[in-house]
Amino acid sequence: MTEEVFRSPKKRGRIAVLLSGRGSNFMSIHHAIREGRIDADVVLVLSNKPDAPGLTAARERGLETLFLDPKLYANREDYDQAIVERLRQKDVDLVCLAGYMRILTPVLCRAFVNRILNIHPALLPSFPGLHGRQKAIDWGVRFSGCTVHFVAEEVDMGPIVLQAAVPVLQDDTEDTLAARILVEEHKIYPEAVRLFFEGRIEIRGRRVFFV
């Protein structure tokens, strides 16, 4: 059986960011674009929360933003279908989840296979889901970190692009560990997006290669 190989496109990319909160990862990506480290434009910043600080930050940066109210849709699939339509209208190449606090339905996952990235605050496959940092502390691991991965239908389980590790200290709280991990998130997320639009990411099975 021949394995299907995906190769990311080498082009000036069109990025959509989905966020629900403060948006520091979005800002790290946008900053890298402005510095010329990523060949792309953020063409849409979309949120399920009208008051997400990340939306305000996007507006302040002159970017197109959109609040889509989940309450106006009968179910999660219909909501995700509305998102898919907006993303298609904007001809989006890559969707960056950046603190987007909704689980994607297959409607969205299947419309953008190999074209949705997420950042998770733990070294996957350890500690998926919510509260990854507290789970790492409670488990007693000596290192945790963050993972940029492609989004598959199973939550936090898609192919891993980049990871960074940080020590877990004896007196860490969820907040102190989060702050240490966040510094690394802001390095590896823009780096993964850069590699994507340099056409250097190849996915074979569940492994990612840089070519």
Dump the DSSP string for 75-101. SHHHHHHHHHHHHHHTT-SEEEESS--
Residues in 44-63 that interact with ligand GRF by CB under 6 A: 54
Q: Which is nearer to ligand GRF, 172 or 185 (CB)?
A: 185
What residue type is 124 in one-letter code? L
Instruction: Judge contact between 16 and 45, C-beta under 8 A.
Output: yes
Should residue 22 be labelled a site residue for ligand GRF when binding is judged by CB under 6 A? Answer: yes
Cis, bond preceding 125 (omega within 30 deg of 0): yes
Q: Which of 120, 149, 180, 194 binds ligand GRF (CB under 6 A)?
A: 120
Q: Which residue is nearest to ligand GRF (CB)?
A: 99
CA proximity to 13, closest of 182, 157, 186, 201: 201
Q: Identify whether 120 is a catalytic site residue.
A: yes
Q: Which of 13, 99, 145, 158 binds ligand GRF (CB under 6 A)?
A: 99
Stretch that binds ligand GRF, among 30-38, 59-67, 88-96, 116-124 (CB under 6 A): 116-124
State whether residue 95 is helix, strand or coil: strand
Catalytic residue among 30, 120, 149, 186: 120
Q: Which of 38, 98, 108, 137 binds ligand GRF (CB under 6 A)?
A: 98
Should residue 185 be labelled a site residue for ligand GRF when binding is judged by CB under 6 A? Answer: yes
User: What sign for the dihedral angle of Cα 183, 42, 114, 54?
Assistant: positive
CA distance 189 to 82: 26
Which residues carry out catalysis? 120
Interface residues with ligand GRF (CB under 6 A) are 19, 21-25, 54, 98-99, 119-121, 146, 185
